[in-house]
Amino acid sequence: GTTIKAISENVVVNPGGDAVLSCTVEGKPLTEEHIKWERVAYDIASRTTTSFVNGTSYLHIKDASRDDVGSFRCIADNRVANPTNRDVQLIVKFAPEIDKSPTFLRAASGTGERGRLPCRAQSAPKPNFIWRQESKDLPVNRTYKYEVEEKKIDPLTYESTLIIEKVAPADYGAYECVVTNELGQATESIRLDITSQPDTPLSLNILNVTHDSVTLAWTPGFDGGLKASYRVRYRINCL
């Protein structure tokens, strides 16, 4: 059989640069034909070339761009035993892009409660988050009033949450999340409102129908600042 002995760590390149991903395989027999690279919904044949030296397959991506960012899978299969595979993440540096989903552009809190404003962005490399109100940087983590929590969601996605203690009437309104890295910046306005009824869900889709079930999906609207639940109503049409 074949085993994958080593694989590139996350490969990071500048836009327009050339990227090389590697996958080292052990096995007998072992030739270039026994190793292949795959990626779903990506034109790997026209975007990449491969080379093979001493049991290592190299995947070359020329003139890398934002569209090439993603996970490439090395598959080793000499048809003697089960194939094995490992993934390599290609990261092409790009300026931050802020998530504009309804749940990330608004938050709500009752007066006297703790407010939480999330700002989620994709970026490479890791971005810096700045929070502002009325064009002034907020003194985060320097007073009890404003604190920031940051977390990494996946290799490209980061989230900063502005926490506002004891929300007062003057704290409601628009805040700015500014996200920067070496390639540029993005700014988005995020509102803090008083808790309210939830917004209507968006884009209801029927995913699957069987003789006794229907699978539905939708995008949640803004939850009004409280935990939302959903009720599905249906009507039987008699012919």
Best CA proximity match to 15, nearest among 86, 91, 118 = 91
Domain boundaries, the chain: 2-92, 95-193
- Residue 143 pLDDT: 86
Domains 2-92 and 95-193 share a fold: yes
pLDDT per position in the chain (239 positions), as tens? 778 899 998 899 999 999 999 999 887 777 778 899 999 999 999 999 999 998 899 999 999 998 999 999 999 887 777 789 999 999 999 999 999 988 899 999 999 999 999 999 999 999 999 999 998 999 998 889 999 999 999 989 999 999 999 999 999 999 999 999 999 999 999 999 998 788 888 889 999 999 989 999 998 887 887 888 999 888 887 76
Give the Å distances, CA to CA, from 9 to 26, 155, 175: 18, 12, 38
Task: Return the structure tokens found at 175.
Answer: 């805040």
- CA angle, 69 as apex, 87 and 47 as ends, to 5°? 90
190 CB neighbour count, 10 Å cutoff = 18
Distance CA 222, CA 219 (A): 10
- Distance linking the first and last C-alpha atoms of the chain: 61
The fold of the 2-92 domain, in CATH, is Immunoglobulin-like (2.60.40)
Q: CB-based contacts of 179: which residues, under 8 Å, 6+ apart? A: 96, 98, 119, 121, 123, 127, 128, 129, 130, 160, 185, 186, 187
Entry pTM: 0.73
Is CATH 3.50.50.60 correct for 95-193? no
Q: How far is Cα 30 from Cα 48, in angstroms, rounded to an integer?
A: 22
Quote the pLDDT of residue 120: 97
Specify the residue for token string 């939302």. Answer: 228
The answer to whether 163 and 149 are in contact (CB under 8 A) is yes
CA 182, CA 127: separation in Å to the nearest integer? Answer: 8
Side-by-side strand order, sheet with 70-76: 11-13, 84-92, 70-76, 35-38
Peptide bond into 198 cis (omega under 30): no
Residues 225/102, Cβ–Cβ less than 8 Å: no
